[in-house]
Structure 1
Amino acid sequence: MDGSTQTLERRIHLVVDHIIPHKGDQKLFWDRKNWQVLCPDHHDIAKQQEEHGKIRSGTDINGRPLDPNHPWNRR
């Protein structure tokens, strides 16, 4: 998540993320209005922490996370 180009085959593709966690709800899972595209690093690390209550969601006008504990802000 340092902004460098990914070279691992699994990490160079984008991931579909659920804006509202579906928690097994198939209707919410397949609702395209509930989808957003994320890089694998953000989905696998930051989004999962957010869903488990470890960081607060939200970004500033430039898309940077507001939470000081977000991995992006720990540089």
Structure 2
Amino acid sequence: MYVETVKHVIKISNFYFTNVVGGKLFVPIIKNETNSHYVILYNVSSSNGVPPTIKKDDSGNIYAYWDNIDI
């Protein structure tokens, strides 16, 4: 099976009367590299146009990371 495009949208809403300032957002990214599969993720973006930093933890998990966000 071949999938050309997958779009995943995360929407965060703050219904409180005070904004969250200086927040951090970690979005887990699944990366699959095997003999029969190779996945490349690109065009990870946010609605405010700020590109993410890609981080990797000690276990090999990969995250798109934004800091200093206001909600």
| Coarse TM-score class (shorter-chain normalised) | under 0.3
Higher helix share: 1
Q: TM-score, normalised by structure 2?
A: 0.25
| Higher RCO (CA < 8 A, seq sep 6+) | 2
Going by fraction, where is strand more abundant, 1 or 2?
Answer: 2
Compute the TM-score of the two structures, normalised by the length of structure 1: 0.25
